[in-house]
Amino acid sequence: MRFVDRVAVVTGAGSGVGMGVALAFAREGASIALVDQDKGAGESAVQAAIAAGGRAIFIEADVSLDQGAARVAEQATSAFGGVDVLVNGSSTVEYGTVTELEEAAWDRVLDRNLKAAFLVSRHCIPLIAARGGGAVVNLGSVHSEATQPSMAAYAAAKAGLVALTRAMSLDHAAQKIRVNCVSPGAVDVPSTHQAAARFSSADPSSALAGWADAVPAGRLARPEEVAAAVLFLASAEASYINGSHLVVDGGLLARLM
């Protein structure tokens, strides 16, 4: 168990990949603060984390707001005495070209994917430093490297997150805080099924099968395969890895056609 006596804060932990990351920390003995703006989803995820063996609390917060991010740091500290690891996973996707996207939609995507990582890091990094160091892992996406039509805001947000990762890795190295990014391809989680239904309302399962076929691995990722990369980068095994961007995509970005 790699995270006994360690405290992990995971944002966007109410569903999908973030929940998978929280459960993986629970199985490794961590105390986990699961953060989400969706109370029902967050409370169910906490029950699953406790069942998986972790000490876990739910913090209901909108992490795209500074007061929400501050509350995350305060409640994690009062429950567990500090923070060792932060995983920034909150996200939303809205589709459109730059001429189609409303300004508010652009702001929602940038705020939940990129600004939230800045705000929660702003409040948690002093706590990680106070414990003598630790790790931040940002959940990016292959869309930072290569994208699809109508993903302008999300692609820009995720590319920004890679740049933020690099900047933070320099700024906080002296505090012994490593900052890395994990970028999945398509993961088999509810949001991916919802996206398939949006692209092909008549036959979402054939859309999903088409996405799986496009991956050299021939399938979508399981959330625990993404979580494994996150936990590795958060662990002492990755003690010399800082500022890196680990793509977990079954070979998707390696394929030219």
Ligand X SMILES: NC(=O)c1ccc[n+]([C@@H]2O[C@H](COP(=O)([O-])OP(=O)(O)OC[C@H]3O[C@@H](n4cnc5c(N)ncnc54)[C@H](O)[C@@H]3O)[C@@H](O)[C@H]2O)c1
Q: Contacting ligand X (CB under 6 A), which of 9, 49, 63, 136? A: 63
Who contacts 168 (Cβ-Cβ below 8 Å, separation ≥6)?
Answer: 121, 125, 136, 177, 179
Quote the least distance from Cβ 184 to ligand X, whole Å.
4
Task: Kindly tell me which residue out of 8, 9, 10, 17 binds ligand X, with binding defined by CB under 6 A.
Answer: 17
Residues 177/185, Cβ–Cβ less than 8 Å: no
| Distance of alpha carbon 133 from alpha carbon 30, whole angstroms | 16
Residue type, 224: E
Query: Using H for helix, E for strand and C for coil, what is the string for 160-219?
Result: HHHHHHHHHHHHCHHHCEEEEEEEECCECCHHHHHHHHHHCCCCHHHHHHHHHHCCCCCC
Q: From the list 27, 38, 200, 209, which residue makes contact with ligand X (rule: CB under 6 A)?
A: 38
Taking CB under 6 A as the rule, does residue 191 contact ligand X? Answer: yes
Cβ atoms within 10 A of the Cβ of 206, count?
11
How far is residue 164's CA from residue 109's CA, in Å, rounded to a whole number? 16
Looking at 89, 154, 187, 226, which residue is catalytic? 154
Only one of the segments 98-106, 127-135, 190-198, 234-242 lies at the binding site for ligand X (rule: CB under 6 A); that segment is 190-198
> Is residue 160 a contact point for ligand X (CB under 6 A)?
no
Q: Closer to ligand X at the Cβ: 63 or 162?
A: 63
Q: How far is the CB of 110 from ligand X (least distance, A)?
A: 11
Of the candidate spans 26-34, 56-64, 118-126, 231-239, the one that interacts with ligand X by CB under 6 A turns out to be 56-64
Query: Annotated catalytic sites, by residue?
Result: 154
Which positions touch ligand X (CB under 6 A)? 11-12, 14-18, 36-38, 41, 61-64, 89-92, 112, 116, 139, 141, 184, 186-187, 189-192
